[in-house]
C-alpha cells in the first residue's frame, strides 16, 4: 500500500460513515430502516447471497411488507465468487450491501433521482460516472428498457455515457427461477491507468477501469422454471450498493482491499509476514487471506463452526484456503486469528456490541481449525510438489482422490495449488475414483452385515 493511498483514506469518508449517510438519506425520504437478516438465516441457500433475498415474500406479493419503502445494510456471502478473489482487486466472497426498496410504490424516475441526489451529497464525481441499461434479449424476447434510458436522459446524464448491454449484464436474476428484471448499473471511470488500453473499453469490459458500485433493479418479471418470463402483479425497485465498492470510489483506492475496511488486517498481516514481497502471487495471497478471514468472521458471528458439511464446510474451506495462502507469504504457524481484531476495530460501527464481544471467540475458532489442519497442509503441499501431469496434460483424478482419502487434503484446494502451476485436473476421473471407493465401501458394509447376522 503506498503512502498516498494511506494518507488520502485517512482524510476521506469512512465506510461506517458512508453506511450511516446512506441509511439516513433514505430514512429522510420515508424509507423504513429494517435490520439486516442474519447471514445464515435463509432456507433457500446456505447464506444470504443478495440484499433482496430476505425480502422475496414481499417482492412477490406473498406477504405485506412493514412499509412500501425500505432500506437496510445486509451482509452477504457468495462462494461462487471465491475462486476469483485475489485475481483482481474487485472480487470478494463476503461483502456488505446497502439497499433501498420500493415495493409497489415508486419506479424508475424516483429511483434514479434518489441515486443522483445521494451521490452528489456524499461526493461522488458524477462527471466520471457511466451507466448501463438493458438493451433487450432476442432469446427471452424481453424488450429493451427504453424507459430507463429516457429517465437518465431526463435527469441530464450524457447520452455518450449510457451503455446498452444484454441479459448477461443488465437482466438481474438470482441465478435461479424467481423475481427478476432489467437493471441499470452505475460505474466510475477510474482512468486509463486501470484499463486494458483498447479504444472500445467501456462498462462491460473485463478490465478494472470501470468500477460498478450501484445497481438499480426493476423487478417486473417472474423467471419460470421452463425458462419463460411472466409479468409480476406487483412492480418493485430493488437496489444494491456494495459498501466496499463505494468506499473504494470515495477513498480513491486502487482496489477494494486497500479501503479502511481491510487496512487494519492488511497492516497486521504485513507485520506477521514482513518479507512477504510484492509479486503477483504474493499480492493475490494477501487479498485471499483478508477476504477469507473476514468472511469466516461473518460466518462465525452467525453461529456457524467449522465442520465437514453444510455451512460449517464453507467456513472450513475459507480457513484452509487462507492458511495455504499464508505459506506463500512464509507463514508456517497459525496466524489467521490475529487478523480478526483489526477487522472489527476498523469497522466497529458495522458490528453490534454482542458481535464485538464474540469476535475473540471466533478468532479462537479460526486458530484452532488452522492448527488442526497444519500437518495435513504441510504433508499435502509436499506431495503436490511431486505431482506431474500425465500424457494428456492432466493430473489423474485417481491421484487427487488418494491425496484426499489417504491424507485428508481437500481436492478443491489441491486443484487450486496445481492451477497456479498451470496444471489442470481430470475431474471426471476424480469423480469416478470417488464412486469406486463408495461402491467398495457399500460392499464392505453389506459383507460385514452378512457376517454378523
Output the pLDDT for position 4: 47
Domain ranges of the chain: 3-251, 259-386, 388-453
- Extract long-range pairs of 156-160: CB within 8 Å, 24+ residues apart: 157/129, 157/131
Place of cell 448477461: 168
Task: Tell me which CATH code domain 3-251 carries.
Answer: 3.30.930.10
Q: Nine-digit cell at 117?
A: 441526489
Within 8 A by CB and 6+ apart from 185, the residues are: 131, 132, 169, 170, 203, 212, 214, 215, 216
Distance CA 133, CA 184 (A): 5
Local structure of 445: helix, strand or coil: helix
Of 254, 369, 362, residue with least CA distance to 317? 369
Local structure of 404: helix, strand or coil: helix
Q: Is the dihedral of CA 106, 108, 111, 113 positive or negative?
A: negative
Distance CA 19, CA 23 (A): 6
Distance CA 151, CA 139 (A): 26
Local structure of 83: helix, strand or coil: helix
Inter-residue contact 389 to 423 (CB < 8 Å): yes
Output the pLDDT for position 276: 67
Plot region of 91 (φ>0 → left; ψ -120 to 50 → alpha; else → beta): beta
Q: What is the pTM assigned to this prediction?
A: 0.90
Of 249, 289, 250, residue with least CA distance to 267? 289
CA 60 to centroid of chain Cα atoms: 25
Output the pLDDT for position 441: 59
Distance CA 405, CA 41 (A): 33
pLDDT tens over the chain, length 453 residues = 454 455 444 458 999 999 999 999 999 999 999 999 999 977 778 999 888 888 888 888 888 999 999 999 999 999 887 778 888 899 999 999 999 999 999 999 999 999 999 999 999 999 999 999 999 998 888 999 999 999 999 999 999 999 999 999 999 987 788 889 999 999 999 999 999 999 899 999 989 999 999 999 999 999 999 889 999 888 899 999 999 999 999 999 999 999 999 999 999 999 999 876 789 999 999 999 999 999 999 999 999 999 999 999 999 999 999 999 999 999 999 999 999 999 999 888 899 999 999 999 999 999 999 999 999 999 999 999 998 888 778 998 898 999 999 999 999 999 999 988 889 999 999 999 988 887 765 555 455 555 455
Burial of 449 (0-12, 13-18, 19+ CB in 10 A): exposed
Of 54, 59, 30, residue with least CA distance to 235? 59
Amino acid at each position: 500500500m503506498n503512502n498516498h493511498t494511506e494518507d488520502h483514506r485517512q482524510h476521506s469518508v469512512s465506510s461506517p460513515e458512508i453506511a450511516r449517510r446512506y441509511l439516513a438519506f433514505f430514512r429522510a425520504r420515508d424509507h423504513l430502516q429494517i435490520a439486516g437478516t442474519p447471514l445464515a438465516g435463509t432456507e433457500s441457500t446456505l447464506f444470504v447471497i443478495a440484499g433482496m433475498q430476505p425480502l422475496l415474500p414481499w417482492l412477490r406479493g406473498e406477504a405485506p411488507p412493514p412499509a412500501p419503502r425500505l432500506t437496510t445494510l445486509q451482509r452477504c456471502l457468495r462462494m461462487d465468487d471465491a475462486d476469483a478473489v485475489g485475481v483482481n482487486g474487485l472480487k470478494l466472497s463476503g461483502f456488505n450491501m446497502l439497499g433501498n426498496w420500493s415495493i409497489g410504490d415508486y419506479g424508475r424516475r424516483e429511483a434514479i433521482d434518489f441515486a443522483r441526489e445521494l451521490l452528489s451529497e456524499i461526493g461522488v464525481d458524477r462527471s466520471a460516472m457511466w451507466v448501463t441499461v438493458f438493451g433487450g434479449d432476442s432469446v427471452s424476447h424481453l424488450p429493451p428498457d427504453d424507459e430507463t434510458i429516457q429517465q437518465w436522459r431526463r435527469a441530464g446524464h450524457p447520452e455518450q455515457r449510457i451503455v446498452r448491454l444484454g441479459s448477461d449484464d443488465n437482466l438481474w436474476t438470482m441465478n435461479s427461477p424467481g423475481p427478476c428484471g432489467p437493471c441499470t448499473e452505475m460505474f466510475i471511470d477510474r482512468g486509463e491507468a486501470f484499463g486494458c488500453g483498447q479504444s472500445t473499453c467501456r462498462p462491460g469490459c473485463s478490465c478494472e477501469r470501470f468500477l460498478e458500485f450501484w445497481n438499480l433493479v426493476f423487478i417486473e418479471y417472474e423467471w419460470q422454471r421452463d425458462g419463460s418470463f411472466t409479468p409480476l402483479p406487483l412492480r418493485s425497485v430493488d437496489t444494491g450498493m456494495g459498501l466496499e465498492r463505494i468506499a473504494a470510489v470515495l477513498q480513491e483506492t486502487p482496489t477494494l482491499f486497500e479501503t479502511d475496511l481491510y487496512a487494519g488486517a492488511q497492516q497486521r498481516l504485513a507485520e506477521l509476514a514482513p518479507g512477504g514481497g510484492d509479486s503477483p502471487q504474493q499480492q493475490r495471497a494477501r487479498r485471499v487471506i483478508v477476504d477469507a478471514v473476514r468472511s469466516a468472521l461473518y460466518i462465525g458471528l452467525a453461529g456457524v463452526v467449522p465442520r465437514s458439511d453444510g455451512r460449517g464446510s464453507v467456513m472450513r474451506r475459507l480457513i484452509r484456503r487462507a492458511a495455504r495462502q499464508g505459506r506463500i507469504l512464509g507463514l508456517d504457524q497459525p496466524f489467521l486469528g490475529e487478523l480478526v481484531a483489526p477487522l472489527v476495530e476498523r469497522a466497529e460501527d458495522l458490528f453490534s456490541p454482542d458481535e464485538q464481544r464474540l469476535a475473540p471467540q471466533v478468532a479462537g475458532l479460526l486458530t484452532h481449525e488452522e492448527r488442526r489442519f497444519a500437518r495435513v497442509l504441510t504433508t499435502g503441499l509436499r506431495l503436490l510438489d511431486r505431482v506431474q501431469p500425465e500424457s494428456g496434460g492432466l493430473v489423474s483424478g485417481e491421484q487427487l482422490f488418494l491425496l484426499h482419502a489417504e491424507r485428508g487434503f481437500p481436492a478443491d484446494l489441491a486443484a487450486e495449488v496445481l492451477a497456479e502451476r498451470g496444471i489442470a485436473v481430470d475431474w471426471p476421473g476424480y469423480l469416478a475414483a470417488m464412486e469406486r471407493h463408495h461402491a467398495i465401501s457399500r460392499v464392505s458394509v453389506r459383507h460385514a452385515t452378512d457376517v454378523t447376522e
